[in-house]
Amino acid sequence: MMGETTPQSREDEAPRLARTIVLVGMMGAGKTAVGRALATRLGVEMRDSDAEIVASSQLSIAEIFERYGEPFFREKESAVIARLLEGEPCILSTGGGAWMSEGNRALLTERAAVLWLKADLELLWSRVRHKTTRPLLRTSAPKKTLTELLAAREPVYALAPLSVHVQADWSIEETAERVLAVLAEAGAVEGYAR
């Protein structure tokens, strides 16, 4: 009968990505964790530019910075992002510095739906302070370094077309739901019903 929803047609109406969804934002904002939850929620692949670089080089991010320096890491990061954008639409979590490159911004803006996970300093600090995995914070005053990085980068993150201001009392799942709602509103995810 017309208008009746069969199981098959419901399946056809499952949320669908119009383009790859890219999460940008500071270290500790939750790009990797929320990206993973988002991908599970949508039933699509989740890729993380840092994880791709680690897998292909067989070195940790910290080791890459130590041995070859940040410019080398940034080259790899840009190459990984360009390669992943060639594939099927997916969730792509970037490293915090990826969006600082004008070339990356141009490519991502053209080819993907970019969402900034905005987070305040104290929340970021609470999430990164006990980790040793982020070479840029291996300074004598890491909180000051994080503060300065945030101040320098925030105007650039603000160029992202979409954003969600994450809150300390949101779970990873709840954050993913809120991100999804913003993406659906922007038309980046089709067929999403809460």
Where do contacts with Mg ion occur on this chain (CB under 5 A)? Answer: 31-32
Query: Does 194 belong to an annotated binding site?
Result: no
- Site map 40..79 versus ligand S3P, x via CB under 6 A: ----------x----------x------------------
Residue at token pair 């990356």: 104
96 in a labelled binding site: yes
Q: Which pair of structure tokens corresponds to residue 169?
A: 């009392």
Residue nearest to ligand ADP (CB): 30
Least distance CB 159 / ligand S3P (angstroms): 16
Bridge partners of 163, per DSSP, are 116
Is 50 annotated in a binding site? The answer is yes
Q: Which stretch binds ligand S3P (CB under 6 A): 38-46, 83-91, 128-136, 181-189?
A: 128-136
Distances (CA, A) of 67 to 58, 63, 111, 135, 138: 13, 6, 32, 12, 15
Among 17, 21, 22, 27, contact with ligand S3P (rule: CB under 6 A): 27
CA distances to 5, 74, 131, 192 from 137, rounded to whole Å, are 53, 17, 9, 38
Q: Which is nearer to ligand S3P, 126 or 185 (CB)?
A: 126
Q: How far is the CB of 15 from ligand S3P (least distance, A)?
A: 25
Q: Tell me whether residue 31 or residue 44 sits nearer to Mg ion (CB atom).
A: 31
Pairwise CA distance, residues 145 & 133, whole Å:
15
Q: Does 31 carry a binding-site annotation? A: yes
Q: Is 89 in the site for ligand S3P (CB under 6 A)?
A: no
For 119, the token pair is: 């987070």
Contacting positions for ligand ADP (CB under 6 A): 25, 27-34, 93, 127, 170-172, 175
Q: Tokens at residue 43, please?
A: 């039933």
147, β-bridge pairs:
none
Candidate residues 81, 136, 146, 180; the one interacting with ligand S3P per rule CB under 6 A: 136
15 near 39, Cβ under 8 Å?
Answer: no
Give least dist CB 83 to ligand ADP, A.
19
Three-class SS state of 101: coil
d(C-alpha 91, C-alpha 84), whole Å: 10
